[in-house]
Structure 1
Amino acid sequence: MDVPVSGASVAGPVLAYWLARHGFRVTVVERAVSPRKTGGHSVDLFRPAVEIS
């Protein structure tokens, strides 16, 4: 089965990896023409990246 994944930030490639590991044919599409130098969201897998008060 072919599966399109929209977005190549963090979740898109992770989802694509696991889908491919389970036998799906995955295509990741991204609107940006190149990786961003600034902007986006901070990602920290071990603790909050931004304190919320």
Structure 2
Amino acid sequence: MLAGATRSKALYRVLGTLLGAVASVILVPNPASAPELLTVVIAHWVTVCLS
């Protein structure tokens, strides 16, 4: 009965995890030597994700 909803939720969680992993691999290495810039980049990423 709830199998469809459970699978859908699981799929969204897996896709979200993969998207977050790809974003961190792309975004973090470049400004890693500048902590202030890294903080700004992460803050913008979180803003985009919450919008």
TM-score in same-fold range (> 0.5) = no
Bigger RCO of structures 1 and 2 (CA < 8 A, at least 6 apart): 1
Structure (1/2) with the larger strand percentage: 1
- Sort the TM-score into its range (normalised by shorter chain): 0.3 to 0.5
TM-score where L is the length of structure 1: 0.36
TM-score where L is the length of structure 2: 0.37
Structure (1/2) with the larger helix percentage: 2
